[in-house]
Amino acid sequence: MSQEQIRQNQRYYFQNKSQFIVKVEMSAGRFVECMVSDISVSGVCIILDKQVFLARGKEYPLEIIEKLPDGNLETVTQIKGTVIWNLTKDFRNLEMIFMGIQFQNLISLPNSVISEEEVSI
């Protein structure tokens, strides 16, 4: 069964990816920043360096942070999610890991943050 067949909610893409930081807490107090491929109200697909290990089936705290025009940072959301799939593939000529994370609860996505159109990252 493909990801498209089991997807329950519309996926969205950040309009300005460089404006956002996504941090995953790998272990107590140890965070890794990652890129987002796409996001929905129920989950996110993140892109990580293949050296980073997140266990499939394990729950991790995530934080999405917006860089404001004045240089300050503002938390968009903090949520826990479980890694439900992973896939290694080339991204920008590097072998990277794409991971699907299902959120513990549904989140709100502000309209100013997202677009239904895929944008290059």
Q: What is the chain's pLDDT, residue by residue, as a tens digit (121 residues)?
A: 344 445 678 888 877 777 788 899 999 999 999 988 888 899 999 999 888 889 999 999 999 888 888 989 988 889 999 999 999 988 888 889 999 999 999 988 766 566 655 544 4
Q: What pTM did the predictor assign?
A: 0.80
- C-alpha distances in Å from residue 83, one per residue of 1, 22, 54, 56, 72: 17, 15, 8, 5, 30
How far is Cα of residue 41 from the mean position of the Cα atoms in its chain?
Answer: 11
Q: In the prediction, which pLDDT does 57 show? A: 96
Q: Half-sphere exposure of residue 87, counting CA atoms within 13 Å on the CB side?
A: 12
CB-facing half-sphere around the CA of 1: CA atoms within 13 A: 4
Within the chain, residue ranges assigned H as helices are 3-6
Residues 115/15, Cβ–Cβ less than 8 Å:
yes
